[in-house]
Chains A and B, each alone.
Chain A
Amino acid sequence: MSTETAEVKKSEALLSKRRKGIITDPLDDNNPVTVQVLGICSALAVTSKLEPTLVMSISVMFVVVFSNLIISLLRNAIPQRIRIIVQLGIVASLVIIVDQVLKAYLYDVSKIVGVYVGLIITNCIVMGRLEAFAMGNKPYDSILDGFGSSFGYAWVILVVAFFRELLGNGTLFDFQVMPDAFPKVGLMTSPVGAFIIIGLLIWVQRWRNGYVEAE
C-alpha cells in the first residue's frame, strides 16, 4: 500500500499547511495533465467549446471526490486481492449516475459529452488517485486530494477550451466576442488544435517550473 504523506497528528488544523499542499500541489507542480500527462484523451476530445468542457470538469470532480471519499472510508475493509475491481466498480457506478443525471437534466450537453462521460471510468486521474492516495489516507484528506486533482485537471482543459473556442469559433460560451471579420482558425475546432495548445501549455509550465523528466 502506498503512502504519499506522513502520518497525521491528532490536532491538525482543518486547513493546515500540509493539507493546503494536498490541494495546491496538483494545480501546478504536480498537475495531472501537464506534468503527469494523464487524462489527455478527454482533454483533447471535449475541449472544442467551453460549455461541455465545464460540464466535463464538474463531472470528473464529482467522480474523483466521491470515489476518493468512498474508497478512503472502506480502505481497511477492502480485500487487497480484489481492490482494483472494487475501485472500478465504485468509479463505474458514480460515472453511470453522472451520465444518467446529465441525460435527464442537461440533455443537449449530454449529447456532446455523452461518450466521454462514460470514458471517465478509464480516466487515469481517477484510478491514479484511488491507488496512490485514497487507499492509504483518511477520508477528509482524500476529499481534499480529490478536489486538488480535479481542479488541476479542470483549469488545464478550461484553458484549452478557452483558446479553442475563441480562435476556432470566435465565441466564448457561445456568445460571440470576436468581430465578424475575425478569421476563424478551423484547425482549432479539430483535436489537432487541442494537441497544439496542450503541447504549448506543457512546455510553458515545465519551463517555468524547471521540471525535467526523470531518466
Chain B
Amino acid sequence: MQQSNGYIIGFAVAMTVILGGLLSFTAVSLKPRQQHEIELDTKKQILASVGITGEDKMKLSNLFDEKVEAVVVNAAGEQVDYSGNVLKLNVQKEWKKKNAAEKLLPVYKVKGDDGKVSSYIFPVYGYGLWNEIWGYVALEADLNTVKGVVFDHKGETPGLGARIASEQIQDRYVGKKIKDNSDLKGVVMLKGEGNANVDDYHVDGMSGATLTANGLNKMVVNYMELYKSYMSKAKGTAAVLN
C-alpha cells in the first residue's frame, strides 16, 4: 500500500505534536521531584566529605539543615549577599567565569557540638582526563588539616581514573595538610601507586590514571587558591573570638 505524500507529511506532523506534547508534559510534571532528589543528593555528598554517611536521605537532609550553614564568598574572602539557595549555585558556571573576582564561591560551615565551626567544606570543580570532575574538600577548624574529601566524575575510565570516586582513594586525603605555614602546597597526588614515605602534603597516586590525577591535583590546588583569602580571614575572626 503506497500512501500519498500528503498523508505521510500529515502523519509525521501529528506524531511529532503528540509525542512532543507528551514529553514536555512528563518533563514539566516530574521536574520538581527531580530537583528535590538532586538537592538531597548534594546534601548527601557534602555530608560525606566530613564523614557523615547513611542510607536515609531524609535523615541526612534534616541533619544538614540543622548542622550546616551555607555562605557565599568571593575570591577576596568577603562574604557575598546571596538570596538564592546556595545548594543550587552552579559551581561549574562560576568556575567558567573568566574574572576570578566575579566568581561566587560557596562555603559550608559545619557546627560542632560546642556551637563553634568544627569544619569547613569547599566545593571543587575541574576536568579529569575525559570529562568533568567535581567534589567537596572538608577542612578541620584549623583550615589546614583535611578532614575528608569526596570526588565524583562524569566519565573517567572505569577501574583507573574512576577510582577517584572510591573510598579507598578518598581516605588517603584524610589528615593531610594543605599549607606549610602560609605556603599553599595543596594536597597533591603523586604519580604511580605504592610510593613509600608520602609526606603530609601529598597522597599516593593511582596506577594507570596519571592524567586523571593531574586534573584532580589542578582542581584541588586551584580551589584552595581561590579560597585562600577566605581561609585567612575566617581564621583571623576565629582567633579574635577565642
Q: Which chain A residues in 70-87 approach chain B with CB under 8 Å?
A: 77-82, 85-86
Q: Mark A45-62, 1 if CB is under 8 A from B, else 0.
A: 000000000000000000
Report Cα–Cα, A103/B23, bound state, in Å. Answer: 14
Cβ contacts under 8 Å, B19 to chain A: 89-90, 93
Q: How many residues of B contact A (CB 8 A)?
A: 23
Q: How many residues of A contact B (CB 8 A)?
A: 24
A107 within 8 A of partner (CB): yes
B32 nearest CB neighbor, chain A only: A104
Q: Which chain A residues in 93-109 approach chain B with CB under 8 Å?
A: 93, 96-97, 100-101, 103-105, 107-108
Q: Is the CB of A80 within 8 A of B2?
A: yes
B159 within 8 A of partner (CB): yes
Q: Is the CB of A107 within 8 A of B38?
A: yes
B85 within 8 A of partner (CB): no
Q: Which chain B residues in 155-199 approach chain A with CB under 8 Å?
A: 158-159
Q: Which chain B residues in 9-25 approach chain A with CB under 8 Å?
A: 11-12, 15-16, 19, 22-23
User: Secondary structure at chain A's binding surface: helix, strand, loop or mixed?
Assistant: helix
A67 within 8 A of partner (CB): no
Q: Which chain B residues in 27-59 approach chain A with CB under 8 Å?
A: 27, 30, 33-34, 37-38, 40-41
A123 within 8 A of partner (CB): no
A85 nearest CB neighbor, chain B only: B12
Q: Is the CB of A79 within 8 A of B34?
A: no
Task: Report the minimal beta-carbon distance from B139 to chain A, rounded to whole angstroms.
Answer: 27
Q: Is the CB of A190 within 8 A of B23?
A: no
* Interface, chain B (partner A; CB < 8 A): 1-3, 7-8, 11-12, 15-16, 19, 22-23, 26-27, 30, 33-34, 37-38, 40-41, 158-159
13 A-B residue pairs with Cβ-Cβ distance under 8 Å, sorted by A, are A79-B3, A79-B8, A82-B8, A82-B11, A82-B12, A86-B15, A89-B15, A93-B23, A100-B26, A104-B34, A107-B34, A107-B37, A190-B159
